[in-house]
């Protein structure tokens, strides 16, 4: 699995993920999971485990991109750390617990759930709509339940949670720039808890000679992480020069196509 052509493809994937994350503030699992599924199938990974491996590898890769994004948004004072603290307990519980569910689900149903979810995300991106803010203050139970829900869904589709967290924070009357920055910070506990869960639940499938630990393929994590961290600032710079609204619409169509391709590949 360490042939040079695969290493190059993982690097290219990291470049695309990092660039799109910097340019549009989205990407992550939406791109990685379908493409990793395709690459792993081509490498001979069994169909019944390929989606699990793609989800775990994607989640581990998000650790480094979320760290980079968190630092950038914190430097611009765009992170509401109190909100991060309030949501993180539920997020850690929900994300970690959901990986136990993922381990028991058939690859086809995981691919189906991923495709449906990404279809909804794509529609939201295309329409570029956000919920109207509300005035009443949330309580501790809401933070716990919302955090657990965001974490659980994020683990099931291996995302940093931005497509769920940003709309919730905007609904909670937080400025969109602060909502994006806070969502970036929340991506770190999601990725840490998810990675640990995929490591634990897939440990019986560990094959050190193939550099696979749990549901995580380490060479892909390393190469995607390095490339994405390098490319994210370039995408962020171009975000001020390119027609981002139209790019979001194009990207939404790409997400749907990638999701459908992944679903068909495991049928």
Q: Is the pLDDT of residue 239 over 70?
A: no
Considering just the CA atoms, what is the radius of gyration of the chain in Å? 17
Q: Pull the structure tokens for residue 238.
A: 């171009």
Dihedral, CA atoms, 19, 20, 21, 22, nearest 10 degrees? 50
Average pLDDT score over the chain: 85
How wide is the angle at C-alpha 204 spanned by C-alphas 200 and 210, nearest 5°?
Answer: 100
Contact 102, 52 (CB under 8 A): yes
* Structure letter (DSSP) for residue 251: H
What contacts 240, CB < 8 A, 6 or more positions away? Answer: none
Instruction: Indicate the domain borders of the chain.
Output: 4-266
pLDDT band for position 216 (cuts 50, 70, 90): very high
pLDDT in the model for residue 19: 81
pLDDT tens digits, one per residue of 153-210: 999 988 777 778 888 888 888 887 788 788 888 989 999 999 999 999 999 888 877 8
Calculate mean pLDDT across residues 214-243: 85
d(CA 115, CA 227): 26
pLDDT band for position 135 (cuts 50, 70, 90): low
Task: Mark 55-66 as b/e (b = at least 16 C-beta within 10 Å).
Answer: bbbbbbbbbbbb
d(CA 151, CA 168): 13
Phi, psi of 263 (to 5 degrees): -60, -45
Calculate mean pLDDT across residues 85-93: 95
pLDDT in the model for residue 56: 95
């Amino acid at each position: 699995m360490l042939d040079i052509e695969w290493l190059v493809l993982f690097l290219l994937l990291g470049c695309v993920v990092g660039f799109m994350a910097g340019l549009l503030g989205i990407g992550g699992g939406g791109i990685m999971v379908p493409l990793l599924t395709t690459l792993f199938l081509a490498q001979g990974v069994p169909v019944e485990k390929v989606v699990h491996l793609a989800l775990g590898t994607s989640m581990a890769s998000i650790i480094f991109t979320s760290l980079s994004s968190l630092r950038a948004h914190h430097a611009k004072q765009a992170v509401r750390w109190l909100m991060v603290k309030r949501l993180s307990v539920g997020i850690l519980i929900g994300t970690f617990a959901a990986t136990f569910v993922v381990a028991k689900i058939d690859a086809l149903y995981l691919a189906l759930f991923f495709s449906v979810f990404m279809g909804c995300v794509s529609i939201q991106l295309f329409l570029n709509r956000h919920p109207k803010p509300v005035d009443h203050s949330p309580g501790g139970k809401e933070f716990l339940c919302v955090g657990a829900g965001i974490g659980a869904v994020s683990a099931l589709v291996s995302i940093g949670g931005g497509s769920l967290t940003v709309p919730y924070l905007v609904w909670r009357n937080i400025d969109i720039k602060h909502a994006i920055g806070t969502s970036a910070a929340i991506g770190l506990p999601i990725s840490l808890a998810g990675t640990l869960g995929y490591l634990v639940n897939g440990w019986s499938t560990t094959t050190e000679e193939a550099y696979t630990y749990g549901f995580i393929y380490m060479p892909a994590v390393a190469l995607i992480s390095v490339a994405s961290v390098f490319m994210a600032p370039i995408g962020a710079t171009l975000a001020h020069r390119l027609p981002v609204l139209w790019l979001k619409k194009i990207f939404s169509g790409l997400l749907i196509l990638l999701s459908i391709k992944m679903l068909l590949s495991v049928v």
